[in-house]
Amino acid sequence: MERTVFLIDMQSFYASFEKVYQMNLDDKPVVVAGDPKIRSGVILAACPIAKQWGIKTAEALWEAKNKCPDLVVIQPRMQAYLDASVEIASVLESFSDQVEPYSVDEIFVEMTYVLDGYGGDAYAAAHVMKRQMKRMLGVNARIGIGPTKVLAKMACDHFAKKTTDGIFSLTYHNLQEKLWPRAIGDLFGVGGRMKKHLQNMGIRTIGQLANFPLEQMKKRWGINGELLWRTAYGEDSSPVTVDTHIRRQGIGHHMTLTRDYCTWREVKVVLRELSEEVARRARANSYMGMTVSTGAGGHDFDFPAGFHRQRKLENYTNDGTVIYHIVLRLFEEYWDGYPIRSVGITLDQLVPDTFRQLSLFHPIQDKEVLNHTIDDLKERFGNDAILHASSLTNAGQALLRAQKIGGHYK
């Protein structure tokens, strides 16, 4: 039996939610945007009416206002969106007991064993699902259908958004006709950097990658090259489970700063905060990591500046101080002093923290107890309950981040 997986994507989720919440906005162009008081403001979501004015997600708020003077701008309320996302997942659980949140507005649903109730017709099930979510929650959904999660995802991203009913099925049978002619950047897993590498190899479309010799991909990119090659064929054995995305290979945190950071003293403050946050997340998920990677970027997209480097540790860790000192060394080696507007840190090569190699020269038991005590205090009293003194300076971001979820106010 061939699998059937749905990827449900809430159309303009944040903006649609605000229209449901505030009925007087129903016929108005609405966008949800970052706080313009802190930075220029970026469009996080635009309703269909706003999109008719040419407004796009991720464009600057001032550009959107120039296009539509009557634009209604709403500051994001992330906690409300997260609560709504949980409600949406609950609705989908009435269709299948295998429901996996992929992001706030995207959810995978395994439909393989429940389609008999819809005469085996995936499209019929998708229409029922869309009507149910609209009736109960007031939001419109797009649905990608595929025999694997990766095909369902690409069906939704590249095709369902353009159909009249918001539903599209991408299968092994129409893969070459529909997916392969698309640009290589449309392949799931291909980011901006990989896109440039593949284009330099003469690979411009997904089909060209699919027809590229697998051994050459593996020779150049290792397992990642083989993964991309198999993704072009829609191959993906990952199941629809809650743990699929929680149990990941790396835990990281990226921060867009409110202004340019130009001095080493300021940069070290956010590096310490990020290191502690990554370590806290690793401990919360019962992981340790062996590799630390970090990167930084400037504010000028026309003249990009930045770096991304990694370093392997001597032992597995989930301690923020250890991560911080490695990151400092990487920055001292690769940062050339340009103004920084974004920075990120990731702990990779994760293993469960159930067992640990002990060292006679670096006792860690006391530090483990201290770290978990701090974690418990933050869990009970909030992330700003305990801070490094440097976070209270003008360069600190921890107090501001404590008021937010996913970088936006609760």
- pLDDT digit string, tens, across residues 237-254: 889 886 544 445 678 887
The DSSP 8-state label assigned to residue 142 in this structure reads E
Q: Are residues 218 and 284 in the same domain?
A: no
pTM passes above 0.75: no
Q: Which of 34, 58, 76 is the last residue of a domain?
A: 76
Distance CA 44, CA 63 (A): 13
Q: Are residues 181 and 260 in the same domain?
A: no
Q: Which of 45, 76, 107 is the last residue of a domain?
A: 76
Cβ-contact 326, 283 below 8 angstroms: no
- The answer to the question of residue 120 being in a domain is no
Q: Are residues 58 and 192 in the same domain?
A: no
The whole-number pLDDT of residue 155 equals 97
- The answer to the question of residue 138 being in a domain is no
Tell me if 105 is assigned to a ligand binding site: yes
Amino acid identity of residue 286, one-letter, is: S
- The answer to the question of residue 157 being in a domain is no
Amino acid identity of residue 340, one-letter, is: I
Q: Are residues 209 and 293 in the same domain?
A: no
- The answer to the question of residue 304 being in a domain is yes
The whole-number pLDDT of residue 121 equals 93
Q: Are residues 286 and 362 in the same domain?
A: yes
Q: Which of 205, 232, 259 is the last residue of a domain?
A: 232
What are the two backbone dihedrals, phi and then psi, of residue 107, each rounded to the nearest 5 degrees? -140, 130
Separation of CA 41 from chain center: 19
Cβ-contact 315, 291 below 8 angstroms: no
Q: Are residues 296 and 344 in the same domain?
A: yes
CATH number of the CATH domain containing 314 = 3.30.1490.100
The whole-number pLDDT of residue 356 equals 59
Q: Are residues 254 and 353 in the same domain?
A: yes
Relative to beta strand 30-33, strand 72-74 is parallel
- The answer to the question of residue 19 being in a domain is yes
Tell me if 9 is assigned to a ligand binding site: yes
The whole-number pLDDT of residue 332 equals 92
Cβ-contact 209, 184 below 8 angstroms: yes
Distance CA 95, CA 101 (A): 15
- The answer to the question of residue 359 being in a domain is yes
Q: Are residues 291 and 226 in the same domain?
A: no
- Catalytic residue numbers read 106
Amino acid identity of residue 144, one-letter, is: G
The whole-number pLDDT of residue 246 equals 44
- The answer to the question of residue 142 being in a domain is no
CATH number of the CATH domain containing 202 = 1.10.150.20
Q: How many domains does the chain divide into? A: 3
Q: Are residues 396 and 265 in the same domain?
A: yes
CATH number of the CATH domain containing 40 = 3.40.1170.60
Query: Each residue of 127-169: pLDDT tens digit?
Result: 999 988 888 888 899 999 999 999 999 999 999 988 999 999 9
Q: Which residues of the chain have pLDDT under 50?
A: 39, 244-247, 301-302, 365
Q: Are residues 195 and 285 in the same domain?
A: no
- The answer to the question of residue 148 being in a domain is no
Range of the domain at 398: 248-409
Distance CA 12, CA 45 (A): 6
Torsion of CA 44, 48, 54, 59, to 10 degrees: 0
Q: Are residues 272 and 377 in the same domain?
A: yes
What strands lie across the sheet with 99-103, from one edge to the other? 99-103, 106-110, 5-10, 141-146, 167-169
Q: Are residues 219 and 254 in the same domain?
A: no
